[in-house]
Amino acid sequence: MPSPPSGMAWKLRFFGFPGLICACLSISVASVIRPVSDAHRSAALELFVPVDGSFPSLEEAYQALRTFQILGLERTYDISHATCPIISEILGSSSKPEDLFHALRVNSILGCQIGTQIFEDVASRLLVGIKEANLLMDFYYSVLSLFYIKQQGSSIVLLDADVIFDSIKAHGQSDGRYRYDSDNSEPSTHAAGIALETLAGVLSLADSDMDQSKIEVVKNDIVKLFDSIKSYDDGTLYFDEKRIGDTEYRGPLATTASVVHGVTAFAAIVSGKLEINGDKMAGLAKFFLSIGIPGRTNDIYIQLESLSCLENNRISIPLILSFPAAVLSLSSKDRLKADVTTVFGSAAPPLTVNLVQVFSPDSEDVPILENKELQCDPENSIHYLDLLPLKVDVGKYILFFEISLHDPDHLNIYATGGRIKAFFFFTGIIKADKAAVGIFDTDAENAVALQKLDLSRDNTVSLAANHLKKMHLNFQLLTPLGHTFKPHQVFLKLRHESKVEHIFALESSAGKYKVLLDFLGLVEKFYYLSGRYDIKLAVGDAAMENSFLRAIGHIDLDLPQSPEKAAPPPPQPIDPYLRFVPKQEISHIFRAPEKRPPEELSSAFLVLTLLPLVGFLIGLLHLGVNLKGFPSSSVPVFCSILFHGGIGAILLLYVFFWLKLDLFTTLEALGLLGVFLIFVGHRTLSHHASTPTKLKTT
């Protein structure tokens, strides 16, 4: 097989064989459904963080409070000081049902100190507004707000509940969907969930029992609504709606959550049981859990609120079959383990987990294994199955499970989800056998001339050839059960002593891997470079626990001289780690210090410098200088003191200049002192000039 182009060879060379094997070890396994765990709690603590003691809106505040309530988390912050005044203001002044709804449901968790009279005033406003409501959302906000007020202990009764029930039901369609208004708006699945939750609120606030025939109509509508449910191959179910015009598209998550809220709320308030297959409730639970851990506050709130509704519904409580590990090692004798809990990880009732069928990619129509019951470990609340007696080989498998409840009465309480599909990946030790390498004149191999290789360790085979020879390499890979194994990637690398590399991909033929390198056809690819080539073999696969990069040995090639117009070898990439090697030490010789005069001469010069100062002091004593002419009045005295002090400061500045100050700093300070001395000196000299001459003489 010819060598790849130089550009491709450079990329492979840059990637490196260790990285190449790591890449082929990455496996693609379907996401495993797991119940709510501590990871959700950690995500909630990171996502819901108030700013300056509050959230941007009451809606976000409720999402945070409700999420923490569902997860059983203690709040690490107190938003009541900033939020309760806002709630009180809205309840006392706002008449919009939406604002009242958000304020009341936050208060239902926060428990602000709101007077009973305020709740009664809000209820009276809502009862008046609900009679004039026309839009579905107005009914929703008003009815749910009254429901929250009732939870606070107020006596709320809808005297005309039948009329309100019929007004909401008028938005419904024959397929179970609802419109947001009674005009020509498009029917919506999301609106159906809103309507069902509102109808449940009306029934809880009604002063008398509702006509049972109306409730039965709604039950039938719910059954029709579930006929439009969508599904994935693994049994995950969800609701969605089409994008129509400029109408707001809610998406599968919000739409499914709306239906779940509405259906579970309606089922909780009516007598009897809704005719909904329990497996559908389990499929909806799988949909919310398949999301994993959302990264947005709104998404994690919707997920957890919906799962909370499913955890406590009166239709069927979903049971979740989860697996601690979907990748199992045959060499380590790993057990297939399964755990059955509710969506929040609560213990399931007594049950049995059965492995119904096992399919491999090679036999998707015929199962390779059927009807194996998993053993129960009640101490660890886990079900397990030993893989060794099953005689399964390495690779990817599709497994189907079923859950059987021991108590028949539990069939009306729990939903097992029917046949549960799961993907598993089994890994093991792959044996490399019948490996040999040799140099021949023709394509035919000579078993005697072949040198055997042990691919469990590095080899030191020494080969020699010219451009008329051919190199043969072959080996076989076997699974733990002795079947022929075909890995994802098999490469042979030849590396010249000048670091020029050539990579060849090997292909399987008749259960063996063979490569034939005809050096006559490869001289141009080898850039006519004679010399030593190191040989390495790389084999990697996701199912191999012993993927390897083995040294085969080396080959000394004697190739013809390069023609004048032959392409030169490509430049080798510079190792980026070379920038971190120690740098060469810098040797620097500083300038020799200037020759200084002797110490005695310097001392003599200092004495000569101080002689004028001594002469100045002697002259002052000879003249009889005194302080008799010093001003006596307050202002001139103050100015004279400042004047003489300024002169002393200038002398002190000269001393500091001599010791450590630079010229620019000294001049800057001298300029400031000079301006100061001009002002105070002028005042001092003016006073002396105005003093009478006689007084001066005296």
**What is d(CA 159, CA 151) in angstroms, rounded to the nearest whole number?**
18
Phi and psi, residue 25, nearest 5°? -85, -10
Name 96's Cβ contacts closer than 8 Å, sequence gap at least 6: none
How would residue 100 be classed by pLDDT, with cut points 50, 70 and 90? very high
Whether 7 has a pLDDT exceeding 60, the answer reads no
Query: Which of 9-23, 30-44, 163-177, 633-647 reaches the highest mean pLDDT?
Result: 163-177
Whether 609 has a pLDDT exceeding 80, the answer reads yes
Note the CATH architecture for domain 38-318: Alpha/alpha barrel (1.50)
How would residue 26 be classed by pLDDT, with cut points 50, 70 and 90? very low
Q: Are 229 and 293 in contact (CB under 8 A)?
A: no
Percent of the residues in the chain that have a pLDDT greater than 70, as a whole number = 92
Whether 315 has a pLDDT exceeding 60, the answer reads yes
340 class by beta-carbon count within 10 Å (0-12 exposed, 13-18 middle, 19+ buried): buried
Say if domain 320-427 classifies as CATH 2.60.40: yes
* Coarse DSSP helix, strand, coil percentages of the chain, rounded to the nearest 5 percent: 40, 20, 35
Q: Are 532 and 496 in contact (CB under 8 A)?
A: yes
Per-residue confidence (pLDDT) for residue 606, from 0 to 100: 82
Phi and psi, residue 531, nearest 5°? 125, -160
pTM: 0.72
Per-residue confidence (pLDDT) for residue 241, from 0 to 100: 86
Tokens of 148: 């929250």
Q: Are 124 and 142 in contact (CB under 8 A)?
A: no
Per-residue confidence (pLDDT) for residue 29, from 0 to 100: 39
548-569: average pLDDT: 91
Phi and psi, residue 322, nearest 5°? -120, 160
Closest listed residue to residue 150, CA positions, set 126, 194, 119 = 119
Per-residue confidence (pLDDT) for residue 247, from 0 to 100: 62
**What is d(CA 389, CA 338) in angstroms, rounded to the nearest whole number?**
18
**What is d(CA 527, CA 500) in angstroms, rounded to the nearest whole number?**
9
Closest listed residue to residue 552, CA positions, set 683, 679, 453 = 453
Q: Which residue has the tokens 């191959």?
A: 233
Q: In this predicted model, what pLDDT tens digit does every residue of 371-400 receive, in sequence order?
A: 999 999 988 889 999 988 888 899 999 999
Q: Are 141 and 198 in contact (CB under 8 A)?
A: no
Per-residue confidence (pLDDT) for residue 244, from 0 to 100: 63
Per-residue confidence (pLDDT) for residue 12, from 0 to 100: 35
Helices (H) and strands (E) in the chain, counts: 18, 23
Per-residue confidence (pLDDT) for residue 361, from 0 to 100: 72
Closest listed residue to residue 502, CA positions, set 5, 162, 49, 98 = 5
584-593: average pLDDT: 77
Per-residue confidence (pLDDT) for residue 607, from 0 to 100: 87
Q: In this predicted model, what pLDDT tens digit does every residue of 436-445 receive, in sequence order?
A: 999 988 766 6
Cα 248–chain centre separation = 28
**What is d(CA 214, CA 226) in angstroms, rounded to the nearest whole number?**
19
Lowest mean pLDDT segment, chosen from 105-119, 181-195, 399-413: 181-195
For all residues of the chain together, what is the average pLDDT? 87
For domain 431-575, the CATH class is mainly beta
Neighbours of 197 (CB within 10 A): 22
Phi and psi, residue 216, nearest 5°? -65, -35
Q: Are 53 and 81 in contact (CB under 8 A)?
A: yes
Lowest mean pLDDT segment, chosen from 91-105, 254-268, 354-368: 354-368
**What is d(CA 412, CA 155) in angstroms, rounded to the nearest whole number?**
35
DSSP assignments along 356-380, one per residue: EEEEBTTBSSS-SEEEEEPEEETTT
